[in-house]
A and B are shown apart, each in its own frame.
Chain A
């Protein structure tokens, strides 16, 4: 059991709902949400890219809002609702945004894709997929080093149209 230099225990108890299930964890206070998801809950869909808030690969939804799990302490999520890429499927099938990414080939290596998709799902909920320009601006927190941006935008545009029931 770890403690601070002056002997104070650093473990924290965290109860968090992840993809609809309640999970109870005892963690060192330094553990990020990203590491808790990947290493403790075995939800490795969320990716560790820069691990410093610059790339967006670790994007998840916390209480419905997209956030960076690498800069969020797991302890801060106590009592919160977290959704990861594993929680997106509907009735066993893919989420429409996932389907659109496949149809438009919105990836190459795929490492940034879970973050891109979580961000895109939030973008649609925020109502910010009105134009390619708007999609580019509000997806700018997700970097794709393969440069699949044109296909990512096409996928989101299509998902937005379907979302609107057009």
Chain B
């Protein structure tokens, strides 16, 4: 009989434990993560309840953008939150969008895993009074109010030409190491580069565009071939993260290191060693921190009702590395952060993605 009572008590105890545990999880967490907001700025008339929803959690690129976004949200007295799936799948993002609709947050700042799959969930969020803007990766324009784009085709193409022109002294032969021959982004950038060379740098000759297919070994071999085929080559532009890393790897151990200039689009973690050993002086990409900051301020402007995402509206953002504060919304509700960010030996250690 005694052991019987003990058993009964154990079962009752266990279910109570489970219930208490659940209650603790459910009531403790939100207070923990949201307490800075109501605690010190409870008098605010408007509450900026802004949630970042990246493609997936645990991704260094989004850690950089979202943490910068968090600082920006807190700088204007808002409440920041980041939710997201562990795998970059669209249906998982739908579940989180639905949850945010139920919670009635002020704005969702989304990097989409699929341009169309999230639209129905986003429409329901808008119905529930939640502002929806995308950054980094867009959805179809009718599914969101704004898209905060890192840069645009012209700025990305021209920036890389500007960098290489300065490094080779404004004249001589250059080549381009691209991704695959039918890569949409790269081809658009290369088109811009050709026009920009013709109009602004007549003394620079583009001798060839080669394709490394975004494969490390192919890109490496193509770099080698370029250098043996064009002995007077002074610079290479690789507008793809795989290409620039492979080309840098070849150059860093070759006789051309420091002689032939290399730039393009790369990530700091791939390029850190090559920037520090002098193989690459400068390369470009957007700054995810600035992207997160601009998205946060755009969300604030939407919540304030200052903007609706229509072309020509303006809003302000503070704390960007470019020190630009005025932004104007372009066609299709797209606002552009600006020039690509240039990474050098001086700033590369500020980034980890």
Q: Bound pair: A and B? A: no
Q: Please list the residues of chain A having a beta carbon within 8 angstroms of any beta carbon in chain B.
A: none
Interface residues of B (CB under 8 A from A): none
